[in-house]
Structure 1
Amino acid sequence: MDVQVPDACTLPTAEQPLRLAEFDELFATAVRRVEPIAADHVRMSLTGPTGLAEKVRDLTARESECCSFFAFTITPQPATDGEALALDISVPAVYTDVLDSLAQRAAAVSTGTAS
């Protein structure tokens, strides 16, 4: 399952598979639910060990540098062990197809159904 990379992305082509691998690792280890809120807004529920929020902040900050159309909001959630977060991702309407492909990949990788 490929993620659409729009022309607006300034990450060098050679680095894109590495960034995708970082997201896949996050999706596989921390994403528990992917919830579409609207066509331009997705919420992911994440859980993981202490340090998860810092990891997500770092990854989303770097992604915002090359794909400035993404808006990421990280909200801590109650957790009994480690950390829990809500990661809201929104985009302008022109990029909903990119968001949709990212959400589909997150759902597939997190459930082990990615091909």
Structure 2
Amino acid sequence: MSDQDITTGSAWVPDACTLPTARRPLRLAEFDRFFGMAVRTAERASARQLRLRLDSATQVEETARELTARESSCCSFFTFDLFRPDPASLTLDVRVPVEHVDVLDALADRVSAVRRRR
């Protein structure tokens, strides 16, 4: 992923996204802030699933719920599952259908790039 992709997010915003183009940089910035502050580890559970282990703070959970709900409304191919395996843990699973694995690849790359900059 190039620095340009990190800035604009063009690699993981698919044509299927219905968010108006003018609002995409703002949404990408929101995800970048979230990835930078909340993601503790990221692992690829399968080709179609990315598992993000998050800071377990209540505010992180609230932000994750709100952000993923808005993302689901414009990119309906994403499935987000936020859950607490135990009281001290918070996990976000991101799944896509097989035809959008490239989008998940780019999202995983973006998470890694944001975490490296941190």
Q: From 24, 43, 47, give the equivalent of 2:55.
A: 47
Residue 54 of structure 1 deviates from its aligned partner by 1.1
Runs of 4+ in 1 over 4 A off after TM superposition: none
Q: From 104, 109, 114, give the equivalent of 2:114.
A: 109
> Could you tell me which residue of structure 2 aligns to residue 18 of structure 1?
26
Unaligned runs of 5+ residues in structure 2 are 6-10
Residue 42 of structure 1 deviates from its aligned partner by 0.6
Structure 2 length as normaliser, TM-score?
0.86
Please show how residues 1-115 of structure 1 align to structure 2 within 5 Å.
1=2, 2=5, 3-47=11-55, 49-78=57-86, 84-112=89-117
Change in 2 beyond 3 A, CA 1:18/1:60: same
Change in 2 beyond 3 A, CA 1:48/1:21: farther
Identity %, equivalent residues: 51
Change in 2 beyond 3 A, CA 1:20/1:64: same
Residue 77 of structure 1 deviates from its aligned partner by 4.0
Q: Residue type matched to 1:5 in 2?
A: V
**Which structure: greater helix fraction?**
2
Task: Provide the aligned C-alpha RMSD in A.
Answer: 1.5
Distance 2:58 2:99 in 1: 36
Alignment partner of 2:28: what SS? helix
Structure 1 length as normaliser, TM-score?
0.88
Unaligned runs of 5+ residues in structure 1 are none
Residue 48 of structure 1 deviates from its aligned partner by 5.0
Question: Quick check: 1:73–1:88 contact (8 Å CA) kept in 2?
Answer: yes
Q: Residue type matched to 2:101 in 1?
A: T
Alignment partner of 1:51: what SS? helix
Distance 2:18 2:116 in 1: 30
